Amino acid sequence: MKKVELLSPAGDFEKLKIAINYGADAVYAGVSHFSLRCHSGKEFNYETFAKAVDYAHKRGVKVYATVNSFPFESQLGLVENHIKKLKEIGVDAMIISTLGVVKRASEIAPEIDIHLSTQANALNSWDYEAYRDFGVKRIIAARETMLSDLIKIKQKVPDIEIEIFVHGAMCFAYSGRCLLSAVQFGRNPNKGSCANDCRYPYVLYAENPDTGKMFKMEEYSDGTYIMNAKDLCLINHIPEILKSGVIDSVKIEGRTKAPYYVGVVTKAYRNAIDEFEKTGKCECEKYYKEILTTKNRGLTDAYLVKRPYERDDTQNLETSLTHGEWQVAGIVNEDENTFMCKYKIFPGDIMEILAPDENISECENEIGKIYKQNGKWYLKLDKILTKNDKELSSVHSGNQNPIKLPCKLPHLSFIRKKVEFSSNGI
């Protein structure tokens, strides 16, 4: 069976480290220039991006740079300089949307692979063959493409790699081709500055032109989320995706998502893929439940196994975002003896540990204890001590003092608390 790559988002250096430590084979990221998530890339400049690429390569992980916005004529010189910088940094591939940029990148950096962005809307074997002839090594399939079509495409164009999105936010427009926020806010989605207007509640009105009367049409008192797509989740389809033998990479969306999302979702798909590769089957429902601990807009398996017109459950009309059942309370520091508080913690709190690996030992002392129960790891803090041994009555996310652990936990482990959230919005 073909080894399938797990590709995770890296909106900044911390998320890149989390993605790698939680099991990604490759990550995608970008300096903000010419990236469709330019705001997520603001944490990377060329210097820090070079360090991030070096960090990944030392761990055997590939880095794909996003150059997938649609440049205007006045920006072509800047695009050229950007490609040259990425060549110097040594990225493994560039994700590109337009044919002209594909051609120029091939000329400037022929040694760097080119991946065609999903924004290019490649849907059939003619598209795949044409882009291959222009030097594209991998095509990121349009989200509207069915797996059955990809099997046929691979048979006709066997020398092209295929990447699919398996998880993350879905655009209500066709393959992301939307100008809504450009109309309302002057922010061009295809230039990397989408305002996510489709996530807002809208109020609908019906007007009678003969009488001039206008009636408000209400489904919910605060408006209806008529364009709000649910989030994609294909973890229950991992067996059929892998069995198809035509998919080279499965991709998780979310460069603007929280570090916790990156860790949880990457680990869930890593476990599902590994389980199927080892045993030929996957009890994927347990990984699906873990994904539900993250914020989401409701989950759907979208269009990989059904045509868009066959679906009537891909929208969440009630809310733009729902919370998971867990709140991140802390992230373990590089010293593995302390963590940074991300929520609020009190003495006596019992919190669950989500670690990138199982290198955890049970212990108990005056600070608290780390123990395993029903297959899960927990931390109980009896004392809240800073790294300098100052005892606190509680600690909150604004406190920048590292907090001591009873004993070591793996770097970038998440400490989480089960909490009650409102079902409404953010």
> Which amino acid does the sequence have at 162?
I
Mean pLDDT of 52-56: 98
pTM of the entire structure?
0.87
Return the percentage of the chain with pLDDT > 90, whole number: 68
Q: Which domains does the chain have, with CATH numbers?
A: 5-175+228-310 (3.20.20.380), 326-418 (2.40.30.10)
Residue 307: the pLDDT is: 64
The angle at the Cα of 343, spanning 338 to 348, to the nearest 5 degrees, equals 70
Encode 160-194: b = buried (16+ Cβ within 10 Å), e = exposed.
Answer: bbbbbbbbbbbbbeebbebebbbeeeebbbbbbbb
pLDDT tens, 70-123? 888 999 999 999 999 999 999 999 999 999 999 999 999 999 999 999 989 999
Closest CA to 230 of 326, 332, 303: 303
Among 124-128, 202-206, 236-240, 414-418, whose mean pLDDT is lowest? 202-206
Distance of CA 244 to the CA centre of its chain: 24
Residue 262: the pLDDT is: 97
List C-alpha distances in Å: 67 to 114, 115, 117, 301: 10, 10, 9, 28
What is the band of 219 on the pLDDT scale with cuts at 50, 70, 90? low
